[in-house]
Chains A and B, each alone.
Chain A
Amino acid sequence: MIELPRRPRLRTRKGGHVDRDRSLTFRFDGRAYQGHPGDTLASALLAAGVRIVGRSFKYHRPRGIYTAGPEEPNALAGIGTGARATPNSKVTTVELHDGLVARSQNRWPSLALDLMCVNSALSRFLPAGFYYKTFMWPAAFWEKVYEPAIRRAAGLGRASALPDPDHYEACHAHCDVLVVGSGVAGLAAARAAGEAGARVILAEQDFLAGGGLLCEPGQEAWRQEALAALAALPNVTTTLRTTVFGYYEQNMLGALERVADHLPVPPAHQPRQRYWTIRAGEVVLATGADERLIAFPGNDRPGVMLAGAARTYARRFGVLAGSRAVLFANNDEAYGTLAALAEAGAERVTVVDPRPLGPAAAAARRQGFEVLAGHEVTGGHGGRGIYSVEARAIGSAGAFQIDADLLCVSGGYGPAIQLASQSRTAMRWDDRIAAFVPGDAPGQRSAGGARGCFGIAAAARDGLAAGQAAASAAGFAAKAAFALPEGDDPDATVAPFWEVRARGKSFVDLQHDVTTADIRLAHREGYRHIEHAKRYTTHAMATDQGKTGGLVGAAVLAEARGETVAVVGMPTYRPYVSPVTWGAVAGHHRGRAFAPIRRTMLHDWHARRGAEFMEAGLWLRPAFYARPGEAPWDAILREGRAVRQAVGICDVSTLGKIDVQGSDAATFLDRLYTNTFSTLPVGKARYGLMLREDGMVMDDGTTSRLAPDHFFVTTTTANAGRVMEHMEFHAQTVWPELDVQFASVTDQWASMSVAGPEARRTLAKVIAGLDISDAGLPFMGVADATLAGCPVRVFRISFSGELAFEVATPAGYALAVWEAILAAGAEFGIEPYGVEALGLLRIEKGHVAGAELNGQTTMRDVGLGKMAKKGDFVGKVLAGRPGLTDPARPRLVGVRAVDRERQIRPGAHLVEPGSDRSLGWITSVTRSVEPGGWIGLAMLSGDADRHGQRLVAAFPLMNEAVEVEISSPHFVDPENARVRS
């Protein structure tokens, strides 16, 4: 049983959109409170009498709840615990649920007693940009002393260090008309477009639709009817708890739906949040308007709140934010708060209005409210909650106190133009409402408060028109209109009133603690452009992006510059409209699902055989097959030895395979490869080298001619995609006149290399329909056959330097062919070998691979300069540039540790003994079977001249220096006799 503190009654007995019959228990800073379904954490805290909910960023001043929505600058809290802890949540947007746990932030040791508020006492020494002017001496102190202290003090909430247990999903949506915002304008627009027949999405960031209508009991029937009408239209989708955060090219909008944030944990199989990309034909921005603050000393105290927020708490949530209130406003719209507070039980509301007595003020007086026209508020007192408000007649020095526990502020309303400005719609300054107003753009229109059209009835008419126009632009004829809310629209004209000039800190950015004095200091120091002032002071850069005070800061700067706000402009609104959950946009592409895994058809066999797998791009390939208790190098050497001395089999299915056909296929390949394919006889294969047009080697592989107009090209595993695209580019755009077509058949064929002196005897046992003797299938021969009843294509090609056959079979037969060969080879001691042994064999043989063909090497560099033919091919001309033919370029050599047991490593640089000057570097290494000991390939300046020299393989990262002997890269069978045996 949780004992709840007794409090004065702050919750009204009826009205609003909370379910008083049910209670929800939640905790804030360890203490238990109760609220109701329909509450936000903010309304529940206010109802519980909690005034201080956070501390500010720089001065650690106590702060309360300032707004009732996502524009909240002050009231941030950490929500949830453990791995689900989410920092920096605006309590004004957190939907209350049973068991919710929240903690205040940026205070130490506690919210009530925050020792960091010493910053506030020192604040005169900490003006905007103070850190640019100090902390420079002594130089070493920045990282060690100053910066750690600043970092600890800065920041807001604390992140959980644990992996997020929830999941997220991404959805794509298409519609004719997207309506953003479900206030009266949005509802009218969505209904108009929907009734015209358009596919409509209505996105609302709140958990209830209606926007400002939720504070208008007199319009509740209309709201209900509009929602019912929308629900009845199958072509209209209304999505709540969905913030449209970004506006991108060609009417693509990004949105975030909080699917389960209002529940303790997401239900099984439900994401926590859903990321939407919405492709809209037409967009109606009905995002409403944001109320502005007024800068005056103490305008940040707990108990100061925007007037509209106080009204929302009273009307929507039935919470009285204060019983002795002052309303400080320069516009008629804000007077609506008076009745709301009175109805909710406020003892007294005093109006302070800087304007001369006007009709709204006169009406308020008639209703019995005290109105101080021509007055201004000069201060709010009280550290842990306002207890008195200081005011004075404008122009007089004599301030007086008004006893109060709530100070409602309204500096007027400005359209919420974040989305419109992201889409780069032109903005114009509207003197009437003293705000920037968006125009329309192709496929986009703003409606209602979002374009300065204030008042329920006016906004409804505007929304209806926008919805009809959008539907019409999307090709749907408008239907007869429906009834709209009626009523008098308040006079939206405001007398711009940005600041009260009085002694004390007047904030324009509450979260970042930016004051009017800071803005003026920036101006004095020459940071006069709005972007400079913003960056120098950090104004409007906090998590609320200056929705309540951005324009006020701009106005203070404008006054200092002696110009108008229209000229000075607003700080830029960058995406996002509201901060976006990182994980939601990442969706499912995380952890092991970050990228797909490609497995060959033989993967499961490899796994059963105990293969250790390694990554090769997206592929998983067997590195080696260790026997129980066998060390990796023992396994690799055993596999390598089997190939050199008996027979081995290796899964090479990952090599790229491209089928090339057409009457000009041979001509095409001639132009793409450095060597010639038009002279290749049918039934033969040839090694080929391909350059980029800049003359660097792009890829290598064997190409076989299966028919006069039919070739089969193989690529390296890594470059399969690039080579395919390279071919398509040249065939389609450079030589479209050539008759040639391509298909990637990498996944259609499995292939395996059978290599070693016993390879022929092994295969001969199981192959049918083909004579694989040297006469029947000579080196580089290609022929079809059957093996274990499966169709195969046999290539007599070798990467290992041994007698070898590559057997390709349609992927589905892979296992049958593989197992048949293994069985046939058993008597000869066949071993499957992995990528490591494959590397061992090719390094011994001096064949280049990805480590040498790394995009920085030419054909000559890798010892293949002779492969350049006389005629044209891609890369030929630029390969002749002086920098690419420079004899000083490093070229391929072999290296071998002088002490055979000393390990050499790739990435080591070759230097003369005692020198630090790099002459080259080692690209690949292996322990070897034939020469013995550690050998490798390297790129070395002066290549052939250095054969036989001793250099040092320097690896300073590990403090290693190993003496090596430079040689030809061909350690094994340089005459190439074995492959022809």
Chain B
Amino acid sequence: MTRYSAFGLLTKALGGHAGWGRAWRDPAPKPSYDVIIIGGGGHGLASAYYLAKEHGITNVAVLEKGPIGLGNTGRNTTIVRSNYLLPENNHFYEWSLKLWEGLEQDLNFNVMMSQRGVLNLFHSDAQKHAAARRGNSMRLIGVDAELLDREQVRAMVPLLDFDNARFPVMGGLLQRRGGTARHDAVAWGFARAADRLGVDIIQHCEVTGIRREGGRVTGVETTRGPIAAGKVGMAVAGNTSRVAAMAGLRLPIESHVLQAFVTEGLKPLVDTVVTFGAGHFYISQSDKGGLVFGGDLDGYNSYAQRGTLQMVEHVFAAGVSMMPCLSRLRVLRQWGGVMDMTMDGSPLICRTPVEGLYLNGGWCYGGFKATPGSGWCFAHTIAKDEPHRLNASMTIERFRDGRLMDERGVGPWPWAQ
């Protein structure tokens, strides 16, 4: 395994780059592992990495039905932030953000974490008050947040519509440490680092069943044969209900499609992540120059990884209403991701009623930014058979018990979360 460095790049260049080996191995599955992680997305790969790194559990396989990182890890809008209202969420996402801040050095892979700031605009007194409650909540637990007035917002993002808006910008809540990262690199970086610690990353190996004996998990059935395991963790965003059903679980989750978009490449135009408060819209600019943006769920159950034009029209209208100069730009591509939406909009990292079977899912929109924190907490939960305090509230039972984590008070309607 070659360590990545500028010097390495120089020396390899002199050899025509023939010296670069595989970023991660391509092993055949062994008959048995201590831990199997189902799902080779960012969360599954991060979980395996932290199992090995933090808990010394290296006899681990990550099973992925296709190539790694091509589910939601490769289909999101790459935003990283920890600006949550509820302390349970805020502590968790803040830990995740802290892991992001050291991820490149930890993984020896440049995931291009770029702390460009995340600015949530508000347009009414009610929104301003909700933003203030959230920002103060962040500050009280030590997370950075700033309340900007209209003129401060104008100085930061002069291209917003300040003159002709239906819902004029009143100000914004800014988290400067928020930003973006390169989504594919997160999967590859965790894969390479986990592989280096001995984890087997097995692609094109679809789990078709979860073996149990006496209420305890014993392994999985796969398209490449049965594999035994002492513990099995599920990290299959977009398929959580289906995989959990293999173990007889019925979850408080619905799968919905969320569309995302990117424009043609442009010279720097939008310097920070901006979210619109008067409609569902958010935007940032990638290092390559494309404006990456998205909006709300299409709003119906779907596994299709594609959406319909109706939501596209809403998103585009919100975009030009927020920033009129976007109007003449051209949008290059559109795609969809399948969000496993829980009934309160917050995730699950927990044990399940099946002993030895663990669940990581229901990430709603929060999946990408959670990747390192989710893997870290899931690894802890699997290794210790009990949650870390950071994910102690992220259980299935919270719905039964009424200890909901509903950031916006939307209620049990996933399409509205």
Residues on A lying within 8 angstroms of B by beta carbon are: 57, 84-88, 124-125, 127, 130-137, 139, 142-143, 147, 150-152, 154-164, 166, 168, 170, 246, 248-249, 252, 254, 277, 517, 521, 524-527, 529, 531-532, 535-536, 538, 542-543, 545, 574-576, 579-583, 585-587, 589-595, 597, 614-615, 692-696, 698, 850-851, 854-857, 878, 881-885, 905-909, 911, 916-918, 921, 923, 954-958
Asked whether B136 is an interface residue with its Cβ less than 8 Å from the other chain, the reply is yes
Asked whether A589 and B110 contact (CB < 8 A) given A142-B104, A906-B129, A955-B132, the answer is no
Q: B319 near A586 (CB under 8 angstroms)?
A: yes
Q: Are A909 and B264 in contact (CB under 8 A)?
A: no
Q: Is the CB of A136 within 8 A of B326?
A: no
Contact, CB under 8 Å: A909 / B17: no
Residue of chain A at shortest CB distance from B344: A694
Complex CA gap A524/B288 in Å reads 24
The answer to whether B401 has its CB under 8 Å from any CB of chain A is yes
B130 contacts across to A, CB distance below 8 A: 854, 907
A855, B326: Cβ atoms closer than 8 Å: no
User: A residues within 8 A CB of B303?
Assistant: none
Q: How distant is the Cα of A544 from the Cα of B308 in the complex, in angstroms?
A: 23
Pair B9/A574 contact, Cβ less than 8 Å: no
Q: Is the CB of B112 within 8 A of A131?
A: yes
Segment at the interface with A among B232-240, B266-274, B381-389: B266-274
Choose one: A127, A156, A161, A525; the contact of B264 (CB below 8 Å). A156
Chain A residues whose C-beta falls within 8 Å of the C-beta of B132 in the assembled complex: 905-908, 955, 957
In this complex, the interface size class of chain B, counting residues with CB under 8 Å from chain A, is 35 or more
A248 touches B321 (CB 8 A): no
Once the chains bind, are B330 and A88 in contact (CB under 8 Å)?
A: yes
Q: Contacts of A163 on B, CB cut-off 8 Å?
A: 161, 164, 324-325, 327
A87 nearest CB neighbor, chain B only: B266
Cβ-based interface call for B247 (8 A): no
Q: Are A907 and B22 in contact (CB under 8 A)?
A: no
Name the CB-closest residue of A to B116.
A143
Q: How far is the CA of A695 from the CA of B406 in the complex (A)?
A: 13
Does B267 lie within 8 Å of A883, measured CB to CB? no
CB-defined contacts of A954 to chain B, threshold 8 Å: 136, 140
10 contacts between A and B (CB under 8 A): A136-B5, A156-B264, A163-B161, A526-B26, A532-B67, A582-B319, A592-B164, A857-B409, A907-B130, A956-B140
- Report whether B321 and A579 are in contact in the complex, using a CB–CB cutoff of 8 Å: no
Q: Does A164 contact B402, Cβ atoms closer than 8 Å?
A: no
Contact flag A524-B21 (CB < 8 Å), given A161-B325, A592-B165: yes
Asked whether, in the complex, the Cβ of A583 is within 8 Å of the Cβ of B327, the reply is yes
Task: Tell whether, in the assembled complex, residue B5 and residue A134 are in contact, meaning their CB atoms are under 8 Å apart.
Answer: yes
Q: In the assembled complex, which residues on chain B have CB atoms less than 8 Å from the CB atom of A86?
A: 328
Asked, given contacts A248-B308, A582-B329, A881-B400, whether A908 binds B409 with beta carbons under 8 Å apart, the answer is no
Known: A579-B332, A594-B317. A956 touches B412 (CB 8 A): no
A583 to B316, CA, bound (A): 7
User: Is A882 a contact partner of B133 (Cβ separation < 8 A)?
Assistant: no
Interface with A: B29-37, B44-52, B118-126, which one?
B118-126
In the complex the two chains form, what is the Cα distance from A801 to B265 in whole Å? Answer: 60
Q: Distance in Å from the Cβ of B408 to the closest Cβ of chain A?
A: 7
Interchain CB contact under 8 A, B412 and A692: yes
Name the B residues within 8 Å of A143 (CB-CB): 114-116
B22 A524 Cβ-Cβ under 8 A = yes
Task: Give 17 new A-B contacts, CB below 8 A, not counting A132-B185, A524-B22, A529-B70.
Answer: A86-B328, A124-B13, A131-B112, A134-B110, A163-B161, A521-B20, A524-B17, A527-B188, A531-B74, A579-B263, A579-B331, A579-B332, A585-B317, A591-B164, A856-B409, A905-B132, A958-B147
Q: Which residues of B contact A905 (CB under 8 A)?
A: 129, 132
Known: A139-B102, A142-B114. A159 touches B409 (CB 8 A): no
B319 touching A529, Cβ below 8 Å? no
Taking CB as reference atom, which chain A residue is nearest B312? A585
Q: Would B13 and A543 count as touching, CB distance under 8 A?
A: no
B18 touches A580 (CB 8 A): no
Chain B hits for A615, CB < 8 A:
123-124, 167
User: Which residue of chain B has the shortest Cβ distance to A878 in the bound complex?
Assistant: B402
- Contact B22 A586, beta carbon cutoff 8 Å: no
> In the complex, which residues 289-331 of chain B have their Cβ closer than 8 Å to any Cβ of chain A?
289, 308-309, 312-313, 316-321, 324-331
Interchain CB contact (< 8 A) of B320 among A583, A857, A885, A911: A583
| CB <8 Å contact, B321 and A591 | yes
The residue on A at minimum CB distance from B203 is A529
Which B-chain residue is minimally distant from A148 (CB atoms)? B268
Specify which chain B residues have a CB less than 8 angstroms from the CB of A856 in the assembled complex: 406, 409
* Chain A residue at minimum C-beta to C-beta distance from B293: A582
* Shortest Cβ gap from B201 to chain A (Å): 10
Shortest CB–CB separation between residue A407 and chain B, in angstroms?
26
Known: A131-B112, A585-B316. A883 touches B401 (CB 8 A): yes
Could you say which of B188, B268, B412 contacts A132, with CB atoms under 8 Å apart? B188
Tell me, in angstroms, the Cα distance from A857 to B411 when the chains sit together.
Answer: 11
A132 to B2, CA, bound (A): 13
Measured CB to CB, the closest approach of chain A to B225, in angstroms, equals 22
Considering the chains assembled together, what is the distance between the CA atoms of A855 and B416 in angstroms?
12
B411 engages A906 (CB within 8 Å): no
Is the pair A597, B411 in contact by a Cβ cutoff of 8 Å? no
* B131 interface neighbour in A524, A885, A907, Cβ under 8 Å: A907
Q: Of residues B24, B66, B330, which shows the largest number of chain A Cβ atoms within 10 Å of its Cβ?
A: B330
B-chain residues with CB within 8 Å of residue A878 when the two chains form the complex: 402
Interface contact A586-B104, CB-CB below 8 Å = no
CA distance A685 to B164 in the complex (A): 43
Contacts of A133 in B (CB 8 A): 4-5, 8-9, 109-110
Does B287 sit within 8 A of A, measured CB to CB? Answer: yes
B97 to chain A, nearest CB (A): 14
Cα separation A908 to B318 with both chains bound (whole Å): 30
Q: Is B146 an interface residue (CB 8 A)?
A: yes
Given A594-B279, A692-B411; A125-B10 close (CB under 8 Å):
yes
A586 pairs with B320, CB closer than 8 A: yes
A904 → chain B, closest Cβ, in Å?
A: 12
Q: Is the CB of B140 within 8 A of A916?
A: yes
B268 x A155 contact (CB < 8 A): yes
Which residue in chain A gives the minimum CB-CB distance to B259?
A575
In Å, the complex CA distance between A964 and B102 comes to 41
Residues of B within 8 A of A592 (CB): 164-166
A170 touching B313 by the CB < 8 A rule?
yes
Q: Which residue of A lies closest to B146 (CB)?
A: A957
Q: Can you list the 4 inter-chain pairs with the closest CB atoms, starting with the nearest?
A: A855-B409, A907-B132, A155-B289, A881-B402
B159 near A: Cβ within 8 Å?
A: yes
Give the docked Cα–Cα distance between A432 and B333 (Å). Answer: 31
User: Does B99 touch A at the CB level, under 8 Å?
Assistant: no
CA distance A582 to B295 in the complex (A): 14
Closest chain A residue, CB of each to CB of B271: A151
Kindly provide the distance from the CB of A420 to the nearest chain B CB, expressed in whole angstroms: 15
CB-CB under 8 A from B22, the residues of chain A are 524-526
B327 touching A586, Cβ below 8 Å: yes
Given contacts A147-B114, A591-B324, contact A139 B104 (CB under 8 A): yes
CA A335 – CA B403 in complex, angstroms?
Answer: 73
Contacts A856-B409, A882-B401, A909-B133; A151 near B289 (Cβ below 8 A) = yes
A591 touches B309 (CB 8 A): no
Which of chain B's residues have a CB closer than 8 A to the CB of A695?
402
By beta carbon, the residue of chain A nearest B125 is: A614
A136 touching B334 by the CB < 8 A rule? no
Measured between beta carbons, the chain B residues less than 8 angstroms from A150 are 287
* Interchain nearest-CB distance for B389 vs A (Å): 16
B245: interface (CB < 8 Å): no
Q: Which of A160, A164, A580, A885: most chain B Cβ within 10 A?
A: A580
A906 in contact with B133 (CB, 8 Å): yes
B289 with A154: CB separation less than 8 A: yes
B61 within 8 Å of A (CB atoms): no
Give per-residue flags for B41-74: 1 if the beta carbon is below 8 A from chain A beta carbons, else 0: 0000000000000000000000000110110001
What is the CA–CA distance of A801 and B328 in the complex, to the nearest angstrom? Answer: 54
Let me know if B402 and A884 touch, CB within 8 A. yes
Question: Least Cβ distance of A861 to chain B in Å?
Answer: 12
| Least CB separation from A905: chain B residue | B132
